[in-house]
Amino acid sequence: MNGRQTERVMQRLDSFRIELPSWGFSNTGTRFGKYLQPAAALTIEEKFSDAAQVHRLTGACPTLALHVLWDLPNGAADVAQIATLAARHGVAPGSINPNLFEDQRYKFGSFGNPDASVRQHALQHARDSVDIARRLTSRDVVLWFADGSNYPGTANIRRRKAWFEEHLAAVHGDLTGDQRMLVEYKPFEPAFYHTDIADWGMALSFARAAGPRARVLVDTGHHYQSQNIEQIVAWLLAGEMLGGFHFNDRRYADDDLTLGSIDPFQVFRIFHEILFFEWESGTRADIAYMIDQSHNLKGKIEAMIQTVMRAQELYAKAALVDYDRLASAQARCQLVEAESVLQDAFSSDVRPAIAEWRRTHGLPPDPLAAFNESGYLERITADRGGRTSATSSYA
Ligand code: RM4
Ligand code: MN
Ligand code: MN
């Protein structure tokens, strides 16, 4: 890489931020059970503390996504404590995630439930979440629904769609200032026949109907095998409807594996579509990059640091695409040349440029090694080991 390319990578990294999920630091599992980790965070204070470690070493994670049920069990009454913790640990509250799937009453859905009183309860929780976000000056409220059905004929799909439209618009009506509502989709699981917001088209349709502050959230694990996610990204960018990402990798379904561990080229292609859009439009895409991963076997903090490093590396590679050459090759239908422009960028070793970026920002050249040497893990293992969680998160 030449000096100009190094400069380009460093500039891009300056503005690349990625949000950590609070639930990624606590004990989670699979539907078969949980293997508990002695260092897992049990309290919201511990989640902030762990997130602060990741931010201290990577310099890229100034915000922490919160799940209302798990992190603010008393709702707005917990806001003051969250604000104190955020200030103490130097990590701000990030996206606010209502929880519309764990309560027993949501067995047959939340916004799509045939029982009006359950829909009302879900709506109130979503509105309370907007209020919490406002009090914490969090911009994004992320809505993910487990709603769906398991068997053909058991749910009125059109009626549920209408209820979703009505309730999403009601939540949207509460947004103030620069707040946004991000609508997440997922093709299956926990429901196995139909999901009420199954794909990006449905999320887009709901977001458009809800109002101007609604956008689509792309969780990379929430697609069918071999789906062209970067095309979805390009379409959403073109329509100014891409709100953010939940990053993770997958081998089979919503596996929540470490970003780029299975298919780093796909992550690169997603970043490329975004940066190519920015180059072509001369604008900056307003995208919330967030991690949605729960590690059951890997150490949680270690896995988060690994994820952030991988995201920075793939973003840096995408920043190296020669857009003038690419645009020209595309216009002339020079297929091999156009393809090579992408492949050259993907094959570049950006690690020295990233190390240089870290050096100039007073960060350790190898955040993972620095974490292992810091003694933090040993300390929290000793402090937290032996305790069990009072509250449980999903799975
Ligand atoms: C879901 C979805 C949501 C996340 C929960 C914990 O599969 O990805 O975004 O909040 O998991
Ligand atoms: Mn997600
Ligand atoms: Mn998911």
Q: Convert the chain into a string of H (helix), E (strand) and C (coil).
A: CCHHHHHHHHHHHHCCCCEEEHHHHCCCCECCECCCCCCCCCCHHHHHHHHHHHHHHHCCCCEEEEEHHHHCCCHHHHHHHHHHHHHHHCCEEEEEECCCCCCHHHHHCCCCCCCHHHHHHHHHHHHHHHHHHHHCCCCEEEECCCCEECCCCCCCHHHHHHHHHHHHHHHHHCCCCCCEEEEECCCCCCCCCEECCCCHHHHHHHHHHHCCCEEEEEECCCCCCCCCHHHHHHHHHHCCCEEEEEECECCCCCCCECCCCCCHHHHHHHHHHHHHHHHHHCCCCCCEEEECCCCCCCCHHHHHHHHHHHHHHHHHHHHCCCHHHHHHHHHCCCHHHHHHHHHHHHHCCCHHHHHHHHHHCCCCCCHHHHHHHHCHHHHHHHHHCCCCCCCCCCC
Q: Is 71 in the pocket of ligand 1 (CB under 6 A)?
A: no
Q: Is 23 in the pocket of ligand 1 (CB under 6 A)?
A: yes
Q: Is 256 in the pocket of ligand 1 (CB under 6 A)?
A: no
Q: Is 223 in the pocket of ligand 1 (CB under 6 A)?
A: no
Pairwise pLDDT comparison (184 vs 393), residue with the higher score: 184
Neighbours of ion ligand 2 (CB under 5 A): 219, 246, 292
The residue nearest atom 2 of ligand 1, judged by CA position, is 144
Check: CB of residue 196 under 8 Å from CB of residue 224: no
Instruction: Look at residue 390 in the predicted model and tell me its pLDDT.
Output: 52
- What distance in angstroms lies between residue 291's CA and the mean position of ligand 3's atoms? 10
Q: What is the mean pLDDT of residues 163-184?
A: 98
Strand partners, 181: 141, 214
pLDDT, tens only, 319-333: 999 999 999 999 999
- 388 pLDDT above the threshold of 70: no
Q: pTM score > 0.85 for this model? A: yes
Q: Is 144 in the pocket of ligand 1 (CB under 6 A)?
A: yes
Q: What is the mean pLDDT of residues 382-388?
A: 85
Instruction: Look at residue 395 in the predicted model and tell me its pLDDT.
Output: 47
- What distance in angstroms lies between residue 53's CA and the mean position of ligand 2's atoms? 23
Probe ligand 1: pick from 31, 292, 293, max atoms within 8 Å of CB? 292
- What distance in angstroms lies between residue 222's CA and the mean position of ligand 1's atoms? 10
- 342 pLDDT above the threshold of 80: yes
Atom of ligand 1 nearest to the CA of 393: 6
